[in-house]
Amino acid sequence: MHILAGEFFGNPWWLWSVAVGVGVGVAVVLALLKSILARKVAKYDDVTAPSWFRGAVDLVRRTRRFFFIVVGLYAASLVVSLPPAWERAFTSLVLVAFLLQVAFWGSGAISFWLARYARRKMEEEDAATATTIRALGFFANVVLWVIIVLVALDNMGIRVTSMIAGLGLGGVAIALAVQNILRDLFASLSIVLDQPFVLGDFIIVGEHLGTVERIGLKTTRVRSLSGEQLVFANDDLLNSRIRNFKRMFRRRIVFSIGVTYQTPYEKLKSIPGMIREIVEQQDNTEFDRAHFAEYGDFSLRFEVVYNVLVPDFAVYRDIQQAVNLELYRRFAQEGIEFAYPTQTVFLERPEPAAG
């Protein structure tokens, strides 16, 4: 570096003043354009606006201030003459800033498109595809940022291949240190690809049950029937026995009733046919069987099996209620008594002793 009278790096001071003005002016103009565009588009309803318009607005909002500053510095450097080393430094700085801004734009575009696609799939009740899309969005962003960083390092003169080879041993050490996180991460990928459950499914894990709200990289969130949120580590979840009621196509219902031992034979014999008639009267049912199953401690037990042809739990409970009420009415009409725990005590008076 050398300073001559009235000059700096071979450029007169007035030229440096012009360069500073150009740099500041470019940065300010770009920032003002972003601000004006943001205010203009704020008047539009995001719901009614076309998807391409909302995507463009999102990209404008994701433009960072550092990008304006670097562009301003580069514009200022074009006004003056700089040493070759400084020119290369400015060029590399602009390239890195541009690549970073491209990464922000690309990440925003990926997130916007995936959110729009997942929302459409949820509206079509395709929760499986929506779950896959949301999870793959993270991996797409990781790939994007890795590519951007590698390109930036390569353009800065850093030998990327040598650096990757040198980081091999360090990568093994890091992997061992974060193995629990990696297990959950790969478990998340397994859940997304294998799809034992998806968003909106009602599952039971051990003694816990609820609706799947979110499948994250480390945990899965389930909303229980009582209202609280249950959080499961993905690795623990895959190692558990999961019962997915959303995948149920029909319900097999088994229940039993008991009548008293005093029930006459003919009425006892008519009970299976009576139960069959009652079940078949209900909508969305398929009768299987009804049998006099066993002699209980205090009742004659009948076992009933039928299928509800829809998986909805509320529908099943409505049908079972209707069956129970009709059984009660028919038994009362036929004079058949339901059994309940009773004991019969036999008293024997001993004969008086002869004498």
CATH number, residue 303: 3.30.70.100
Using pLDDT thresholds of 50, 70 and 90, give the confidence band for residue 1: very low
C-beta of residue 271 within 8 angstroms of C-beta of residue 261: no
Q: What is the pTM of this model?
A: 0.48
Using pLDDT thresholds of 50, 70 and 90, give the confidence band for residue 276: very high
Q: Let me know whether 147 and 236 are in one domain.
A: no
Q: pLDDT tens digits, residue range 215-228?
A: 877 888 999 988 89
Q: Let me know whether 19 and 153 are in one domain.
A: yes
pLDDT of residue 123: 58
pLDDT at residue 45 tops 70: no
107-111, 121-125, 261-265, 288-292: least confident range: 121-125
Q: Let me know whether 31 and 138 are in one domain.
A: yes
C-beta of residue 90 within 8 angstroms of C-beta of residue 74: yes
pLDDT at residue 332 tops 70: yes
Q: Let me know whether 29 and 150 are in one domain.
A: yes
Residue 198: give the domain boundaries. 181-245
pLDDT at residue 302 tops 80: yes
Pairwise CA distance, residues 318 & 330, whole Å:
18
From the list 153, 162, 187, 202, the residue with the least C-alpha distance to 314 is 202
Q: pLDDT tens digits, residue range 73-88?
A: 878 777 777 777 777 7
Which whole number is the average pLDDT over 171-183?
59
Q: Let me know whether 216 and 131 are in one domain.
A: no
Q: Let me know whether 142 and 203 are in one domain.
A: no
Which whole number is the average pLDDT over 17-35?
83
Using pLDDT thresholds of 50, 70 and 90, give the confidence band for residue 5: very low
Long-range contacts of 291-296 (CB under 8 A, 24+ apart): 292/268, 293/256, 296/258, 296/339
Q: Let me know whether 132 and 27 are in one domain.
A: yes
| Joined tokens for residue 174 | 């890091």
Q: Let me know whether 228 and 288 are in one domain.
A: no
Q: Let me know whether 207 and 284 are in one domain.
A: no
Looking at the domain assignment, is residue 32 inside a domain? yes
As for how many domains the chain has, the answer is 3
Mean per-residue pLDDT of the chain: 79
Looking at the domain assignment, is residue 354 inside a domain? no
Looking at the domain assignment, is residue 165 inside a domain? no
Amino acid sitting at position 252:
R
CATH number for the domain that contains residue 203? 2.30.30.60
Cα 65 to Cα 140, 141, 217: the distances in Å are: 25, 21, 30
Q: Let me know whether 12 and 103 are in one domain.
A: yes
pLDDT of residue 26: 83
pLDDT at residue 111 tops 80: no
Using pLDDT thresholds of 50, 70 and 90, give the confidence band for residue 22: confident
Looking at the domain assignment, is residue 176 inside a domain? no
The region, left, alpha or beta by phi > 0 then psi within -120 to 50, assigned to residue 141 is alpha
User: What order do you get walking across the sheet with 208-215 strand by strand?
Assistant: 229-233, 219-224, 208-215, 202-205, 242-244
Q: Let me know whether 88 and 225 are in one domain.
A: no
216-230, 293-307, 309-323: least confident range: 216-230
Looking at the domain assignment, is residue 164 inside a domain? no
Looking at the domain assignment, is residue 341 inside a domain? no
pLDDT of residue 43: 61
Q: Let me know whether 11 and 141 are in one domain.
A: yes
Pairwise CA distance, residues 220 & 234, whole Å:
6
